Structure 1
């Protein structure tokens, strides 16, 4: 072998050896992935995220951990992820409030929808309206009771700009009813008041509603979605009394904008595989959710459509801007 050929070969091998660590460093994920949940532990968002994270860990070969950053109507957690390094290692499990409602009602929001790159739509879900055991037996009875005592029946929500409150406002508007909203900081507080007999109705997601219903502590009068919930086929939806009424929320994974496409693709593949897991789908369905698992493009179109759907609703309901 000539000196020139040997020199070239040695140089090429050296370049390959030097390049190998660099290639390894760019492989995704290079370290644990954190999914930020903008709610307190124990709620439906947290439950879904932990189920998905466990399965994503198996798929990605790196730990996928959950970090709760509650507060500010999901703004605190969302802003944190929007400002995170756009490398795919910090992502957000957003809710409908985060990117459908907040941009419509906050004049000075700490983030913009453009600050995020969609990964996948995880699930959609309606809200349940629950009455105490000694309360109305069905929707017709609720309507009769509310018309007999306008403004006297109380219902609990998580605040005037949350989707639980807006869902109930839609129900009241369509049925021509007047009730009194009682605001709580989280489902646990309103559930305690409800079980103590201090609150007439609960308006909550399935993860809170269904244990109350199954334990015989209250009855679900109806769901606010566009179709009946698989785990409670006997419970009607309000749209059966008010055609077209649909107040639903969603959960979905997003990364900071400018996250590399390769990282987004790996995250999408891992999350979709997790959401296809039979046990996860069964658990989500039992909590009143409709499991999804979409492409990033489908998720982007879904969010845009949801924003346009809610815009006139918020205007009609006169939801205050902040």
Structure 2
């Protein structure tokens, strides 16, 4: 028995790496179980729509279900922190927004997570904001500017907080157009939309789904978008403010990230699956109809985008935070 045991040990030592059972488990193909995509917003919003649309098409490409887990709260910090603390194996990923990866890290308040706790996978979409005026207020940029100047700062606009992306977009537009408006605080886009449509709020600066809802109701007019690319196909007659001046470009984004130290092989597999999913015509059409530009690219491309975005807004966010 002793000779057989020694022979077994010797034989095991002679097995090439990668053929033994422990080595096979160590090199198990990713993903080996369902992937959880954390969405740091409630169900039903633009981020949730983008996440679910993408997850549905990534699942067959990964060979595993992609499960949506909504973790809203604390300006997306709750969901981001949950992913930052997850096992760095690629099975837990985050659908982040510009608030998560651009604005929160620029604020002086201490966050539960740091930007470097998350590693980029892919930039999914970029989203311009729309300037929407209540019914009858103005028909285009020129009439809006003339009215705003004649009212001398008396028009009001909705804001989700001084350092929210929609307020930053509003400030970029006001400074670019040389006008002033009064900020009215809200807890989200939904109530802003309700008040605009009832006529109690003059202007909202919101993302595509809310803006398009106002337009389609007939109780709001989109006079311009803060995008830098071509006009949105869903509103081809509405200009980008960048056609008037480059300083009025302001976009948020959605992107996928994983915990820091996630293996590069898992990041690459997730990136490839997301890119392939984003090529589906029905997915692209769904996102375009929501006022989003489909992006893509490598993890390094997304990292570079985040750096540019942070550099762009660092001074303004710091100034608003101190006010």
Tell me whether the two structures share a fold, i.e. TM-score over 0.5: yes
2:270 pairs with 1:267: yes
Check conservation: 1:159, 1:183, Cα contact below 8 A: yes
What's the CA shift string for 1:265-292, capped at 9, x where partnerless? 1111111111111111111111111101
Name the CA distance, whole Å, in 1 between partners of 2:179 and 2:75: 27
Counterpart for residue 46 of structure 2: 44
Tell me the secondary structure at the aligned position of residue 124 of structure 1.
Answer: strand
Q: Once the two structures are superposed, what CA deviation does each residue of 1:90-138 show, in whole Å capped at 9, x if it has no partner? A: 1111111111111112341221111011100101110001112221111
Aligned equivalents of 1:163 and 1:267: distance in 2? 28
Are the aligned partners of 1:107 and 1:321 in contact in 2 as well (CA < 8 Å)? no
What's the secondary structure of 1:86's corresponding residue? coil
The answer for the alignment partner of 2:24 in structure 1 is 23
The C-alpha deviation readout for 1:242-275, integer Å capped at 9, x for no partner, is 3432111111100000111221111111111111
Q: RMSD of the alignment, in Å?
A: 2.5
Structural mapping, 1:1-322, within 5 Å: 11=11, 19-20=20-21, 23-24=24-25, 26-227=28-229, 228-314=231-317, 318-321=319-322
What SS is found at the alignment partner of 2:247? coil
Residues 106-115 or 36-45, more deviating: 106-115
Compute the TM-score of the two structures, normalised by the length of structure 2.
0.90
CA distance in 2, matches of 1:215, 1:272: 34
Gaps of 5+ in 1: none
User: 1:104, 1:273 → 2: CA distance?
Assistant: 32
Distance 1:142-1:298 versus aligned 2 partners, 3 A rule: same
SS in 1 for 2:74: coil
Distance in 2 of aligned mates of 1:87 and 1:242: 44
Q: Distance in 1 between matches of 2:164 and 2:71?
A: 17
CA contact (8 A) 1:93 1:253 kept: yes
SS class of match (1:252): strand
Asked whether the 8 Å contact 2:135–2:199 carries over to 1, the reply is no
Instruction: Tell whether the 8 Å contact from 2:108 to 2:321 is kept in structure 1 after alignment.
Output: no
Aligned residues: 316
Which TM-score applies when normalising by structure 1?
0.90
CA distance in 2, matches of 1:13, 1:59: 37
* 1:168-224, Cα deviation, whole Å (9 max, x unpaired): 011112222221112222221211122222111121101221132133231101101
- Measured after TM superposition, the shift of residue 151 of structure 1 is 3.0
- Structure 2 gap segments, 5+ residues each: none
